[in-house]
Amino acid sequence: MNLVMRTGSLRKTTPFVPVRGGFTLIELLIAVVIIGILAAIGLGQFHTAQIRSRDAQRKENLSAVAKALEMYYGDHSQYPVAADLSWGFSLEDEAGQGTVYMKDLPNDPSSGAKYDYEADDNGSYYKLYAYIEHGADRCFNEGQCLDGGYPGANCGQGEEALPCHYCLASPNASCQE
């Protein structure tokens, strides 16, 4: 005897409940906007930190050059004339004594600027100039930087003129003269 048993569907009907398997489009857009805002703030601060770092490097470079110029003055009782100072090359003794005062005179850390050196024909004084990128640098408040740049000094490369805001002078001279 073959018994065939038929069973009906015993499925209960339930109201539709959406299954959350991911994020909605609105949630994703909000997350992208928040990440974008945070990235913009972070990149802005990073760029400012790079500018301040280059300005600090400029000041340190000129300080090192000033020390080398003082050693030169100690040996020769005069500073080198402007024609004898070439950025990127060494500052050496011309008299053949073989004294190297600075192995490499530093170049400006940015590609669009250069340092400027001023000395009279007698070598009685010197002035070193640098371009300062960050307009809110503390040197402007401390009097070491001149807002519009020092007259007659050019810290630009080639035909591009950049003002020289920062100055270091020999002990017997003043940047304000």
Residue 127, SS3? strand
- 124 C-beta neighbours (distance < 10 Å), count: 14
pLDDT-based confidence at residue 36 (cuts at 50, 70, 90)? very high
- In the chain, the amino acid numbered 108 is D
Q: Give pLDDT tens digits for 48-58.
A: 889 999 999 99
Rounded-to-integer distance, Cα 176 and Cα 138, Å:
18
More confident position, 71 or 159 = 71
pLDDT at residue 132 tops 90? yes
Question: Which tokens go with 141?
Answer: 């408040």
For position 53, what pLDDT does the model report? Answer: 93
β-bridge mates for residue 127, sequence order:
118, 169
pLDDT at residue 158 tops 90? no
Q: Which of the 8 DSSP states describes residue 162? A: -
pLDDT at residue 46 tops 60? yes
Q: Give pLDDT tens digits for 85-123.
A: 888 888 888 766 788 999 999 999 987 789 999 999 899
Rounded-to-integer distance, Cα 175 and Cα 145, Å:
9
Instruction: Set out the domains of the chain in order of their start, with CATH numbers.
Output: 42-169 (3.30.700)
pLDDT-based confidence at residue 6 (cuts at 50, 70, 90)? low
Q: What is the mean pLDDT of the chain?
A: 85
Residue 145, SS3? strand
Residue with tokens 């300080």: 63
For position 33, what pLDDT does the model report? Answer: 95
Pairing of strands 126-130, 166-169: antiparallel
